[in-house]
Amino acid sequence: MNPHLLFDQWFAEEKALNNLKLPAACCLSTIGLDGYPNARFVSLKEVTDGSFIITGPWGSRKGREIENSTTAALSFWWTATERQVRIQGDVSKISESQAELYFSQRNRDSQIVSTVFEQGKEVESIAHLQEYFEEQKRTLGSEEIKHPEHWGGINIKPIRIEFMEFKKSRLHERKLYTQAGEKWEMTILQP
Ligand SMILES: Cc1cc2nc3c(=O)[nH]c(=O)nc-3n(C[C@H](O)[C@H](O)[C@H](O)COP(=O)(O)O)c2cc1C
């Protein structure tokens, strides 16, 4: 089976069984500017044309890391189906129009946060953060919040996708799909 179809199938099966608040949560790993791997949870927006899309601000650590090294990994752990998916791939930026579309789908508070804050920058206190947020909200009123240039997204185009399914026997099934030209090659790995 094509690994993208398998991914869609596994994701749908998990969502059907698991009433997760954030079913699209996954771990994005990047290569830190200091060489240390860096990982954090993000939300998978969608998979289009075989690429996995994640959004966020460019000035953040992950944004800077991706600008420096255009490779990343995404990992999913689905508890109801007891399955793991690991993806490694090449990263490119989504288009301005795509970023605008994803931004327009965010709720207003998230749009304001993404517009007025610089993700990852130090703040004096939580109280200052709250105060600034409320002040910005008052200033913006009901004004439409335009997509800020510093906010965008990435496509992760996989070169490798590994599917692992837990088995009671402990003989967990691991299938590794590797991109070989236009095709995918599948190998079965020992648990
Ligand atoms: C479930 C979950 C989903 C998240 N989704 C996103 C996301 O889609 N984009 C984002 O920029 N941060 C998201 N975050 C916050 C990140 O984990 C992280 O705190 C933030 O991106 C800053 O990371 P950085 O300093 O490595 O850039 C999410 C956090 C959690 C726990």
pLDDT of 23: 85
* Residue 124: inside a domain: no
Nearest one of 173, 16, 22, 153 to 97, comparing CA atoms? 153
* Residue 106: inside a domain: no
* Residue 102: inside a domain: no
* Residue 140: inside a domain: no
Output Rg (C-alpha) for the chain, integer angstroms.
19
Nearest one of 191, 149, 150, 141 to 171, comparing CA atoms? 191
Ligand 1 probe mutation, 21, 41, 55, 64, most atoms within 8 A of CB: 41
Q: How many structural domains does the chain have?
A: 1
Q: What sections of 27-161 are H helices per DSSP?
A: 61-68, 96-104, 108-116, 126-140
* Residue 8: inside a domain: yes
Q: What is the CATH number of the domain that holds 73?
A: 2.30.110.10
* Residue 141: inside a domain: no
pLDDT of 22: 85
* Residue 83: inside a domain: yes
pLDDT, mean of each 10-residue run, the chain (191 residues): 94 93 93 97 95 97 95 97 98 96 95 95 95 94 93 97 95 96 96 96
Phi, psi of 167 (to 5 degrees): -125, 145
Ligand 1 probe mutation, 28, 31, 43, most atoms within 8 A of CB: 43
* Residue 117: inside a domain: no
Q: What secondary structure does DSSP assign to 146-188, as a single string?
A: PPPTTEEEEEEEEEEEEEEE--TTS--EEEEEEEETTEEEEEE
> Is the C-beta atom of 153 inside 6 A of ligand 1?
no
pLDDT of 28: 98
pLDDT of 20: 85
Containing structural domain, residue 83: 3-96+149-189
CB 154 within 8 A of CB 66: yes
pTM, full prediction: 0.95
